[in-house]
């Protein structure tokens, strides 16, 4: 089938990348990414969190940020920079007696 439009045949030299001179350095794409040996703080910190009267979801997200290390200014995703977290919680058992206002509380020992 013959096309009514002429198809231009591009010159192959127009689409080939030009060779760079040996002394050329790409000044715009030099991204430094820290490695594990560049990490300064090697000691992990210990955090103690009191979880009484705290909302569970917000507390869990705060703990996750500290474990992953996202609260640090030198955060790098590929390096384990997090801290150890201890959560203190006083639990109470709450049951119901099947009557109006029948919530009973027993402290867990």
Domain coordinates of the chain in residue numbers?
Answer: 41-91+105-109
pLDDT at 25: 65
pLDDT in tens, 53-72: 888 899 999 999 999 989 88
d(CA 65, CA 85): 10
Tell me the whole-structure pTM to 2 decimals.
0.53
Higher pLDDT, 95 or 88: 88
CB 69 within 8 Å of CB 81:
yes
Closest CA to 51 of 1, 78, 87: 87
pLDDT in tens, 5-53: 666 665 555 566 666 666 666 667 777 777 777 776 667 889 999 998 8
Chain center to CA of 8:
50
Length of the chain: 109
d(CA 103, CA 106): 10
CATH code, residues 41-91+105-109: 3.90.1180.10
């Amino acid at each position: 089938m013959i096309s009514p439009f002429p198809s231009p045949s591009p010159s192959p030299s127009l689409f080939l990348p030009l060779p760079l001179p040996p002394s050329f350095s790409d000044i715009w794409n030099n991204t430094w990414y820290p490695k594990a040996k560049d990490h300064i703080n090697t000691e992990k910190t210990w955090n103690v969190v009191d979880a009484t009267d705290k909302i569970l979801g917000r507390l869990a997200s705060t703990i996750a940020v500290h474990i992953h290390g996202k609260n640090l200014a030198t955060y790098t995703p590929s390096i384990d920079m997090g801290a150890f977290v201890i959560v203190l919680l006083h639990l109470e058992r709450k049951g119901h007696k099947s009557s109006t206002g029948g919530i009973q509380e027993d402290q867990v020992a």
